[in-house]
């Protein structure tokens, strides 16, 4: 396996701006923030993506994301937050160590994180049947 930058940060071999840490999870500021306070919530154990991560670790990550989100709202005055994740190259995952992006939202930040598209009902029915069936 190639060296993982997040594993290096977790091992304290690369400095970071850690906002939160417990036995299972760290949260640090993103070095290329979309907004003030944009941070990453990362499991300490290496999991490539959503398909590999176990449910207990995923639950720990979500709980940490909530704690940090509350701090961001309290300390930075964020009006909302986007929680973003990409699994797989086709989803534009760039670091192949599972992580969540917490992107604080502020009035007038003009950040568009939700592309608009329309699906026809026939397409939705076909997709529904494939997933449910």
Nearest to 64 by CA among 87, 44, 86: 44
State how many domains the chain has.
1
Catalytic residue IDs: 99
Which range of residues forms the domain containing residue 106? 5-132
Q: What is the pLDDT along the chain (133 residues), one digit of tens a residue?
A: 579 999 999 999 999 999 999 999 999 999 999 999 999 999 999 999 999 999 999 999 999 999 999 999 999 999 999 999 999 999 999 999 999 999 999 999 999 887 777 766 667 788 888 998 7
Q: What is the pLDDT of residue 113?
A: 80
pTM: 0.90
Q: Domain containing 110 — which CATH number? A: 3.30.428.10
- Pair of tokens at residue 50: 């959503």
Structural contact between residues 83 and 72, judged by C-beta atoms closer than 8 angstroms? no
* Distance separating alpha carbons of residues 66 and 76, to the nearest angstrom: 15
């Amino acid at each position: 396996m190639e060296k993982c930058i997040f594993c290096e940060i977790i091992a304290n071999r690369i400095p970071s701006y850690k906002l939160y840490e417990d036995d299972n999870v760290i949260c640090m500021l993103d070095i290329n923030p979309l907004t003030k306070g944009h941070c990453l919530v990362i499991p300490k154990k290496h999991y490539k993506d959503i398909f590999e991560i176990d449910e207990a670790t995923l639950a720990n990550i979500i709980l940490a994301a909530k704690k940090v989100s509350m701090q961001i709202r309290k300390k930075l005055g964020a009006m909302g937050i986007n929680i973003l994740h990409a699994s797989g190259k086709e989803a534009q995952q760039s670091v192949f160590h599972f992580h969540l992006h917490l992107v604080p939202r502020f009035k007038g930040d003009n950040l568009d994180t939700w592309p608009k598209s329309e699906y026809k009902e026939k397409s939705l029915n076909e997709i529904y049947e494939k997933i449910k069936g």
